[in-house]
Amino acid sequence: METYQEKISLLQEMIAFALVDGELHDREYDFIEMISLELEIDKETFHKLFENRSEVKVIKDEFNRICQFYRLALLMHADGILHEREQIKINEIGINMGLNPYAMKRVLHMMKKSPNRMIDGQTLLSVFAEQHN
């Protein structure tokens, strides 16, 4: 992660995505809060992000775009309910990030089949790398 503003932008995108289904579930909030702690964003700033909606900053490097896509996918599964709006929105976000739609579909399918809705980092990166060949 490059700058403070990029970290804020990632969290804003996650908050907006969590609200796609019309409500913020406790598990979604907890997940986003955990990411904010990982990004070293103080609690006061984190809480203000729910009030202030600004434009999301584009992530420049592909590795960080893939990581953000995966965070959003984890967030999508956090409440235990897959909403159609979430599935549509995550595809829109991924395409806007410039990620390969086929790779995104494979990752989401793998996560859906996984008992804990997670896939390891190496598998995640290899799915996207396959599309470069």
Q: 121 and 67: one domain?
A: yes
pLDDT, mean of residues 90-119? 93
Within this chain, do residues 18 and 71 fall inside the same structural domain, yes or no?
A: no
- Asked if residue 36 belongs to a domain, the reply is yes
Within this chain, do residues 41 and 95 fall inside the same structural domain, yes or no? no
Domain count, the chain: 2
**What's the Rg (C-alpha) of the chain?**
14
Q: What is the pLDDT of residue 90?
A: 93
Residue 61 phi, psi (nearest 5): -95, 140
Residue 45 placed within a domain: yes
State how far the Cα of 55 lies from the Cα of 69, in Å rounded to an integer. 17
pLDDT digits (tens, 9 = 90+) for 42-96: 999 999 998 876 666 777 889 999 999 999 999 998 888 888 888 899 999 999 8
At 3-35, the pLDDT tens digits run: 888 889 889 989 988 888 888 889 999 999 999
10 lies in some domain? yes
Region 102-131: what's the mean pLDDT?
92
pLDDT of residue 96: 87
Q: Is residue 121 part of a domain?
A: yes
Query: In terms of residue numbers, what domain contains 120?
Result: 62-130
33 and 67 belong to one structural domain: no
Q: Does 115 reside within a domain?
A: yes
Report how far Cα 49 is from the mean position of its chain's Cα atoms.
16
The structure's pTM equals 0.78
